[in-house]
A and B are shown apart, each in its own frame.
Chain A
C-alpha cells in the first residue's frame, strides 16, 4: 500500500465540514484514526471482551494476550530495553504527573532545583511548578534563542549540582522546534539529575530510541499517533521504576494482600492499578502497526515536504508573522503564525468556514506566549495523510480571509 492508500483508510478524511471537503490541520492536538484502529477496538468489544490479568478462562487469556502484545509493540516502538519498563496511563499528562508524584515526591527536597524550558506545554510545567511549591524547591527555566531554539549554553548554566530533575519537551507543540535531548540528558546526568521527556509531539513524526537518547523517563500519548484517546505511555529506566512506590492502589497491582499489609506486584503491573483501557491499548497496537507498515521514510518524506510548503508559503505571505525557526531542517510539522492586525480566532473561524481546521489560542503554553509577546497564535500542523493540494488550498483561503478582515 502507498501513502495515498493509507490516507484512504481514514474515514473522516473523506467527509465534509461546513459543506467543504475537510482539510484537517490540527494534528498536533490529535490525529485522525484509520479504519484499522476503529476496527481493532470494535472487534475487541464484539469478540474478545474480558478483563485482563484475572480470569482463567479462554476469553480472559485472549484479552490479556492482546493487551500485553501491545506492551511489546510499544517497547519496540521506542526501543525500550525491556517490556516491563513500559506502562500504560491515561495520557501524556498523566504520565508526567505520575513522575512528579512518585519520583519527584520521593526525591525533591527543599532547596533542590527542577529545570524546565520556556517552550513547555502546561502538562510538563505545572506538575513541576506545583511540586517545587510543595517542596520549597526552585523551578528554573531554560530560555530560548530568538528563533525559538533551545540554547545549550543557557541549559548548561541552569542545570547545576542542585538540579534533581530536568523536564523537557522533545518537540514544541507551538514552535515545532526539536530540542537536543541527547545533549540535555548528558548535562543532566553529569550534574546528577534525571531527565524527563515529553515526547507527545515527537513519536508520530520520527523514530525514537530511548536508550540512545539515554532518557530516564519518556512520556507520550496514543491519540497523537493515530490511536484512540485515553491511552498514554510512560517509559522509565528499570532501576528507577523498581525503587518507586506506587501512588494508586487496588486491583491488578498487588501480589499478596492481607488486612495488615500488601506486597505489590512487580513492574509494570505495580503501576497499572485497576482495569486499564483495554480496548484503547488494543487500538494503539493497531495504530503502531499502521506506522510500521507505512514506514518512517514515507512518513518523514511527506511530512517534511508539507512542512516546507506550509512554512515557506506562510513566510512569503506579506503581513504574516511566523514564530519559531524559519528553516525547515529545524522544524517539526507544526507552524505557529499570526496575521498582523487580525485575531487568531477570526482567522480560524474564516478557515473553518472553508472546511480547514486549525488551532487558535495559547496552545496550553501561556508562558511561551508571554515569551513571544502575544496572547495567542494560529497553529497549523500536518500529518503524513495531508496533501500538497490541501496546503495549497489552505494558503489560498488564508489569503482570502486575511483580505476580508483587512479590507
Chain B
C-alpha cells in the first residue's frame, strides 16, 4: 500500500484539525444538540448561540474518527461569526461538496479549510463521518431560530 493513497483522504490540514480540534469542549449552562452515527456509534454534541442573527458561540465535543473530528473543527471556524442564513447556505454547500457535486467558487472560498474535505466524496462510506457535525449545527440552528420566535 502506498501512504500516498491515505494522503488523498487524510490531508495534513485534516490530521492537524483532528489532533488539535478548534472550539472543543462544552459549557454546562448552554443548550446542546447531540447527534449520533448509528453505523459506528459515534456521538457528537454542538452548542450554538445566535446573538442578533449572528453565530457568536459554536463549540463541540465528540467521540469520533479523524474525519468527523476534523470536520467539526473546521465547521466551527467557518460558521462562527456568520449570520443564520449565511451559515445555512454554507452547510448546504458543504453537503454538496462532500457528495461530489460542484459548488460555486464563492462558497468554496468561504468554506476555507473545510473545502479540503471535498476529497471525502471519493470515499462514499465516510461521507456520513464528514457531515455529522454539520447536520448537528443545522439542527441547532433551527432550534435556536425557533427559540427566538
Give me the interface of A with B, judged by CB distance under 8 Å: 18, 20, 342-346, 349-350, 353-355, 360-362, 366, 369, 375-376, 397, 400-401, 404-405
Contacts and interface: CB of A to CB of B under 8 A. Distances in A.
Contact of B66 (A18, A346, A360, A397): A346
Contacts of A362: 40-41
Given A349-B6, A355-B1, A405-B10, 20 more contacts: A343-B65, A343-B66, A344-B65, A345-B40, A345-B66, A345-B67, A346-B10, A346-B66, A346-B67, A353-B5, A353-B6, A354-B1, A361-B39, A361-B40, A361-B41, A369-B41, A375-B40, A375-B42, A404-B10, A405-B66
A154 to B, nearest CB: 26
B117 interface: no
A376 B9 CA distance: 21
Contacts of A354: 1
B6 A345 contact: no
A404 B3 contact: yes
26 contacts: A18-B5, A20-B1, A343-B65, A344-B65, A345-B66, A345-B126, A346-B10, A346-B65, A346-B66, A346-B67, A349-B9, A350-B1, A350-B6, A355-B1, A361-B39, A362-B40, A366-B41, A375-B40, A375-B41, A375-B42, A376-B41, A400-B3, A404-B3, A404-B6, A405-B15, A405-B66
Contacts of A366: 41
Interface of B: 1, 3, 5-6, 9-10, 15, 39-43, 63-67, 123, 125-126, 129
A130 B114 CA distance: 43
A388 to B, nearest CB: 19
Contacts of B10: 346, 404-405
Contacts of B65: 343-346
A370 to B, nearest CB: 10
A304 B3 CA distance: 32
Contacts of A345: 40, 65-67, 126, 129
Contacts of B64: 343
Nearest to B1: A354
A355 B2 CA distance: 11
Contacts of B3: 400, 404
Contacts of B42: 375-376
A400 B9 contact: no
B41 A353 contact: no
Contacts of B125: 349
A93 B63 CA distance: 29
Nearest to A351: B1
Contact of A400 (B1, B40, B63, B66): B1
A280 to B, nearest CB: 26
Contacts of A350: 1, 6
A344 B1 CA distance: 18
Nearest to B9: A349
B40 A360 contact: yes
Contacts of A405: 10, 15, 66
A299 to B, nearest CB: 30
Given A343-B64, A345-B126, A376 B40 contact: yes
Nearest to B4: A353
Contacts of A343: 64-66
A60 to B, nearest CB: 43
A360 B3 CA distance: 20
Contacts of A342: 66
Given A354-B1, A397-B1, A404-B10, A375 B126 contact: no
Nearest to A369: B41
A401 B65 CA distance: 14
Contacts of B66: 342-343, 345-346, 405
A361 to B, nearest CB: 4
B73 to A, nearest CB: 14
Nearest to A405: B66
A149 B68 CA distance: 34
A349 B126 contact: yes
Contacts of B5: 18, 353
B1 to A, nearest CB: 3
A228 to B, nearest CB: 24
B21 to A, nearest CB: 13
A346 B15 CA distance: 11
Contacts of B43: 375
A369 B38 CA distance: 13
Nearest to A347: B65
Contacts of A20: 1
B49 to A, nearest CB: 27
A394 to B, nearest CB: 11
Contacts of B123: 349
A18 B5 CA distance: 10
A405 B15 CA distance: 8
A397 B9 CA distance: 17
B97 to A, nearest CB: 19
